[in-house]
Amino acid sequence: MLFGIFVFWVFAIYFRNLPLTPPNGVNFPGDTPTYVDSVHFIETGISTPNFLPNRLLTNFAYLRLLILFDKFRILYLGWIVLNSLFYIFSGFIFYKIVNRIFGSDKVAAFGTALFLGNYVSITFGLHYLTDIGSVMFYLAAANFTLEYIKTGDIKSAYFAASMAGVGGLFKEYALGGFIMVALAILYRAKYKNEKFLRPICLAAFISFTPIVLVQISVFLQYHYSYLNWVRYVSGTPSVSYKSKVVEHLKAMFYMFNTGYLLFFYSLYLLRKNYTKYFSSEVKIFLGIFLLSALPILVYPGITERLDFIFAPFLILVSCVAVKEHEMQHKFWLFFLVIYLLVTFSMDTYILQPEWKVALMLSLKKII
């Protein structure tokens, strides 16, 4: 039944975005054209005037799949179907994580709805972009890390490292999975008297060998590295922020919006009695989960898409409120409806530049 709901949700959203399908080769704004240009460059060796090989560095596996779709002349159809599958599997993995932490199917279902109904999940995950694939592998790494913390089975740690390694070929987010694995190994070494040096080194080898090989290959062919890409992004006018803290706060608000009502109420409940909701292993996992997302803060660009890496942590904490009032089914259904309405209204009424400009002009007239 849950699988059927996921599939229906995915295709309902797909048909909502269907008019965006580019007719006769018309490109999308944003990052989408850079992926398309990279696909055509790999296939033909012909580049556009402003082409940069950065996508060859950061989206190696994704581009190979897109090339396969393009050979069958189903580039955009294959792309949206692939992202739909990543979206569905991300939901299943997140459901498993929530259920392991709270031991409740109801809480897990609600938490998964918050994740799948998130503004970024829908707007950017189910679009002609590459974020959702890496997020899926990041969540898979988190799931195996949680299993390792609870059981001590080192194979789970290596599975987590492999998820980070494969996911890193889709987009950089997944490499945060290695941070989770390394910190989990150190935790068990300190409190469970287990060895840590060899497991961490092996996990690092598993996680980083694929992406390092890609980086070396691209550098040898095009004399271009990830450092070049970061310098390029840092030099663009769009990342000239007066305050990075303020910009991150804005992006985080847009990303989770009404979900913060649950988050702050959950913090209140945890302050009163955190042992009621989380075991010591889960507390360690949540701390590790949060730390694994922090490297995104040093990236020069700031968007809801990037800060979405914090969403799983925010939702896990927010589920404390759901666990506390688990039987209030009507209230949670009502809250979820409001959450989804805000999600589907963000672009039209909240983030639309023309709308914001009109509002500011109106306020100035009133003042």
How high is the mean pLDDT of the chain?
Answer: 87
Contact of 169 with 214, CB cutoff 8 Å: yes
User: Which of these ranges, 7-21, 184-198, 252-266, has the smallest mean pLDDT?
Assistant: 7-21
Question: Pick the residue with more confidence: 23 or 250?
Answer: 250
> Does the pLDDT of residue 101 top 90, yes or no?
yes
Tens-place pLDDT, residues 338-354: 998 888 787 765 555 44
pLDDT of residue 361: 44
Give residue 353's pLDDT. 45
Nearest to 135 by CA among 99, 159, 167: 167
The rounded distance, in Å, linking the Cα atoms of 209 and 358 is 51
3-state secondary structure at position 90: helix
Across the range 34-55, mean pLDDT stands at: 91
What is the domain partition of the chain in residue ranges?
29-345
Is 302:239 a contact under the CB 8 Å cutoff?
Answer: yes
Residue 317 has pLDDT above 60, yes or no: yes
Q: How many CB atoms lie within 10 A of CB 325?
A: 12
Per-residue pLDDT, 109: 93
Quick one: DSSP state of residue 301?
-
Q: Given this model, what pLDDT does residue 238 score?
A: 76
Half-sphere exposure of 176 (CA within 13 A, CB side): 26
80-100 average pLDDT score: 94
Of the listed ranges 53-62, 191-200, 221-230, the one predicted with least confidence = 191-200
| 170-198: burial string, b at 16+ Cβ within 10 Å, e else | bbbbbbbbbbbbbbbbebbeeeeeeeeee
328: helix, strand or coil? coil
Q: What secondary structure, in 3-state letters, does 181-238 show?
A: HHHHHHHHHHHCCCCCHHHHHHHHHHHHHHHHHHHHHHHHHHCCCHHHHHHHHHCCHH
**Signed CA dihedral, 204, 300, 135, 255: sign only:** positive
User: What is the per-residue pLDDT for 323?
Assistant: 96
pLDDT-based confidence at 208, cuts 50/70/90?
Answer: very high
- What pLDDT, on a 0 to 100 scale, did the predictor assign at position 259? 96
Helix (H) or strand (E) holding 1: none
Residues 163 and 196 sit within 8 Å (Cβ to Cβ): no
Distance between CA atoms of 29 and 7, rounded to whole angstroms? 27
Residue showing tokens 């993995």: 93
Q: Output 303 or 291, whichever has higher pLDDT.
A: 291
Q: What angle do CA 108, 261, 9 make, to 5 degrees?
A: 45
pLDDT for residue 243: 85
pLDDT of residue 12: 61
Residue range 3-16: mean pLDDT, rounded = 57
Residues 45-62: tens digit of each pLDDT? 988 888 889 999 999 999
| CA atoms of 170 and 186, how far apart (whole Å) | 27
pLDDT of residue 2 exceeding 60, the answer is no
